[in-house]
Every structure is written in structure tokens, then in C-alpha cells.
Structure 1
């Protein structure tokens, strides 16, 4: 689910709207953020959009390691219900890709970190392997990592960042290749990971590269979200 591309559809429009709202909140505009103010409850497309964007739907709450509003109130309860519905509606199947499984786990981890305790519980999380992050050839690694850029978020308790920190040079190669191929979404996702990882080579020119990707991507809201997150959380590319 999470790695599927969105064409011209109601889902793509909703995903774009939420990505824009998240980016605006990360930049400090638009007042306090609540997912339930962007996505109405009770609509199937809302759950699908949450699964596509994963943990990023809760990214503004990571600014202070907590929500931008009183999650003990109605907004927090509504956000909790939306995320719980998305997790229940789109669990990874037995043959799901590693990207889908990790995106699911990242959303669940963000809910635990930034939303109030869920008295009704959440669906059990499927096991997720990390071996691919150590063994994939760099082009495939870059492809997968870019699709999981929402996990590059302060406060998430996942082992993936530690695994990818061992592949910084390969992620940098992927970033350069994505820029050369004008694959702005992949470049933005990889740039976001690199912004939060140690030992990124100065020769990469990550800061100017992120600015270039943002400028060249036009109005792509998911690119803007990744670039804004890199700047807001890691001070890169601003």
C-alpha cells in the first residue's frame, strides 16, 4: 500500500492535501496542526492516505516530542481514531514488501510516540527484517530507503535508521543518481535520510542539493514535505 504510486485520483488529491498541511505545520505556519482537521473521519480515502504517507501524518507532533495540540481532548481522540482505522484497514499481507511492512510499523510507532494511549489497542505489528538494509545493492537500497523516508523522524523507536547509518555512502550515491535522473521524490526522500545520518561526505553538497531538488520539483507536495522535514529536524537544506 505505502509504496504504490498515486495517479490522478481522489486518493492522490487527498495525499497532496495532507502533505501540504504537514509541510506547512513543520514550517510553523497555519496554526496548530491536527490530522483530524485535515482528514475527515468516516471516509475510506482517509485511511488510504494515512497509509500512503505513513508516520509523516504525525510529523508535526515530533517538533516538541509531542502533539501540537491537547491530544487529551477531542482532536487527539479523533487523530487516534483515524490512525487506528488506517492500521486496521490496510495491514501488510503475508506477501507484503519490506517497504509496506516498515511503513506500517513506522505509523504505529509514531502513534505510540505522539498520540495518547489507545485504550482499544492497535492491531499487532508484523515482524520486519533489517537484513536488506545491510545487503541490498546500493540502487535497490536507495529505492527502498527513499520510500521509507517518513521513518526519518525524531522520536520513532525503530532500528532502521541505525542500519542505514552504515550505508551512508550508498545512500549518497543514490541521491546523486536520483538528481541526475530528475527523480525528485526519490532524491528528496534520500536527502531527508542523509540529513539525519552521520558521516555524510562534504563533497556531496547535501544542503545545496536539497535546495536544488526543491526548486526543480515544482509543486510536488511530497517533495516539499521531505525537504521541509530535513530543514526543520536536522537543519539541512534550509
Structure 2
């Protein structure tokens, strides 16, 4: 990979990881549309780890409160709102980790292509629009229950199976349909991304270290740093945008991207 490819792909991942427009789709598209060499799993993991660091730092207070309450819940303190939220994040993570691991080979062979991305970009963009317009959106993040958390977790599996769905997009959509307000749906989506990205990153990092293949660690570090900076910036402004404008700008973007991609594929 050239330096310009590293920079562009890392910034794309960072800016799109937490937007409901699919970072995986945007990372795959350059190889499909521009003819760039596919960056591969190692680079994907590196830039995702940069995004993970961004969400950990941005939500450091919430993460610390949840962790302390979760550990304290095993003692005399018992369950609190934060400890229950910790359990819900764990519960929501299980489907994606288990099913994602079992189906990773299928995704790599059959789902990483532009036709799938174009289709899922449009379909789940329309579903996001429906949730944004029709859902009640009256509940806060602390009004979640275990059933809702599990449903959001299973929705995350769809994103693992089909690039273009958007992990953040489908989990926010499900959260909205279950009655969460926009800020709560977004925050729960961000928080539940932490264990998923950490699990995937740890697995593929172990594979890289234990393999005999040559790894360009400088390229991976550069991608991680750029992804961190762009993801942190994205989170900050995204939470402000959805409060004022809702999900409409991202729905429009998804529809334009999907239609444009179909046109390109038919004429290519």
C-alpha cells in the first residue's frame, strides 16, 4: 500500500466507524471502484483499534463508571443503573462475537463485494429513515432491559454478515425502534462497540503475531493513529448533529451512495 492509500483509508475508517453509513463498506469500496489493492484484514484491524481507542477516551467517564459499578455489583452494593448497563453491553456483545467468528469465512468469500454493499446501503438506509421518523424515542439508555439489549446485539450480527449494513447504523436503528431517544441509541451503540472491536482486534493481532507472514507494522501504526484522530472528531460532532437534525443527512447519503454504486457497477 502506498502512503496516500494508507492515509485515505485510515481517515475513511475513522470518520465512518461511528456514523450509520458503514465503515467496512467504505474500506472495501476503494479496491472495488478505484482498483486499489485490498488492504486486507491486518489493516482493517489496525484502523479499528484506533477507533476503539477513540471511543474509550471520549467516553472515559461512562466507561469507568460502568466498570466500577459492574465489579462493585458482586459485593454488598448490588445492582445499580450503571452495573445493569454493563451487563446489557456484555449480553449485546455475545451474538456478534459468536456468530461473527463462526461466519467469518463466509463473509470474506461471498459478502465483501460492491453489489452486496450497494444493496445493503440502500435497504438499511431506508430502515434507518423509518426508525428516525416513526419510532417513539422516549427512553433513556438506563431504561433498557435485557430483552432490548439482546435484540440490539442480534441486529449487530447482520452488520457482521453483510458489509454495507453498518454496525453503528443497524444498532442505532434497532435502538430507536425499541424506543430509545437518539442520544441514548447512539451512546449504547458506541459503548457496545468496545468489546466487539476489542475481541476482533485481539483475535487478528494474535494471528498476525503467530504467523510467519511479513507484517508492515509501520503501516499499521500510521493507520491506527490517523483512525484514532478522525474517529474522535467524528464522535464529537455526530452527537451534536443528530440532536439537531436527526438521522436524515445520513439516510440521504446512504441512498445517494447506493444508487451511485449501482450505476457505476452497471456501466463498468
Relative CO higher for 1 or 2, CA cutoff 8 Å, sep ≥ 6?
2
* Larger Rg belongs to: 2
Quickly name the TM-score band, shorter chain normalised: under 0.3
User: More helix per residue: 1 or 2?
Assistant: 2
Q: TM-score, normalised by structure 2?
A: 0.26
